[in-house]
Chain A
Amino acid sequence: MKYFIALIVIALAGCNPSVTKEEFSPEMYKEHPLSILVLPPINRSTAADAKDYYLTTVAEPLTNTGYYVFPIEIVTDILKQEGLSDTESMVNVPPQKFREFFDADAVLYVSILKWNTSYLITSGSVTVQLECELKSTRTGSTLWYYNDEISVSTTGDNGGAGGWAGLLIQAATTALKTATTDYVPIAKDVNTKLFLAMPFGKYNKEYNLDMKKRIELKKKSTAEVNSSKK
C-alpha cells in the first residue's frame, strides 16, 4: 500500500512544472536576508480564528527554515500602538520603513485564502490555503512568494462495525472529531510545507546548499486573492 501511495505521489509530482529554488527566487541568493518581520496576516477566509492560528504557528517553521524572526507577539503589540493593527493599511507602508523601525531585512506578507471546515455526515476535513510574499526592505521588491494548500481529514472511524450501524458510529465520531479538531498542528503543517519552498536562511544547515533543490512552480496571482474575497 505504502509503495502504491509513493508511486502516486511521484507520478503526480512529475506532472507539475518544477523549478530550482535559485531559478524561482534568485534575489534571495543575492540579498541573503537574515531577519524577517512577519506582519499580521490578511484574513480572507470566513474563519475568524484563522489569524490567531496563523500567528501562533508561524515562528517555529520560519526559524527552522533558518531566519531570525522578530518576536511576533511584541511586533504585533508595537504595530497596534502605532495604529497599524489593521493589515490592509500596512500593505501601503513602504517595506523600507520596516528597516528603519525594526532593522528587518525582509517583511513577510501573508494572506489566508481559505480556512474551511467541511463536514459531510460521515466524512469531514479542514482545508487551509495560504499565500505569502517576502519583500526586501532595501529595495522594496519581491524576494519570494508562494501559495499552497493542505487538507486534513477529520473523518471519524466506525469502530469496526459494518453496515448501517458502522455508518452511524462513523457519523457520530466524525461530528465529534470535526468539532474538537486541534487546528494548531494543522496550521503548523501548512506553514512548514510553504517554507520548504523558501531558500534556507543562515540558521539552517542547508544554508546556501539548496539552490538546486526543485520546488513546484507557483505563479503570483493577485486574481486568485481577489476572487476568494467574496
Chain B
Amino acid sequence: MKTTIKFVSLLVIILFIGCKPETQFFWGNYSKTLYDYKKNPDDKTLAEHKKSLTEIILQSSKKHKPVPPGVYAELGYLTVREGNETEGNEYFKKEMLYYPESKVFIEKLLNELHPGESK
C-alpha cells in the first residue's frame, strides 16, 4: 500500500508539472540563489542573490504583478548591511507601503540597524 501511495503521488506530480497554473507572485530564481548563498556565503553568491531580488522587482512590474511580500525588505536588509543606508531605507519604506502589515516589524528592524537614531 505504501509503495502504491508513493507511486501514485509521483504520477500526480508528473501530471501537475504539465499544467502549472499562473501564480499570484513572480519569484524568479529566488530559492536557487538564496540556497547557493547560504551554502557558500561569499561576494559572488551574494551578488547573484541580490541580482535575483532586483530581477523579481523588475519582472513583477513587467508582468503587472505586485512585488512579493518580503522581497523589498530583504533587498533593503542586504543593502544596509553593505553600508548603503539611504538606498536600503528606501526599500524598507516600499515594503511598508505595499504591505502595511509589515510596519511594526520593519520599524523595529530599522531601530536595530540604526541604533540611537530617532525617528
Contact = CB atoms under 8 A, between A and B. Distances in A.
A72 B30 CA distance: 12
Interface residues of B, number: 38
Interface in A151-167: 151-153
A9 B27 contact: no
B45 interface: no
Contacts of B38: 52, 56
Contact of A151 (B9, B66, B103): B9
Interface residues of A, number: 45
Given A60-B25, A64-B24, A64-B25, A150 B13 contact: yes
Contacts of B51: none
B99 to A, nearest CB: 5
Given A64-B24, A151-B6, A204-B24, 7 more contacts: A9-B8, A53-B35, A59-B68, A63-B25, A70-B105, A150-B13, A187-B31
15 contacts: A12-B8, A52-B35, A53-B35, A59-B30, A60-B27, A68-B99, A68-B102, A71-B74, A71-B77, A73-B77, A74-B73, A78-B112, A103-B103, A151-B9, A203-B66
Interface of A: 2, 5-6, 8-9, 12, 34-35, 52-53, 56-57, 59-60, 63-64, 66-74, 78, 101-105, 125, 127, 149-153, 184, 187-189, 203-205
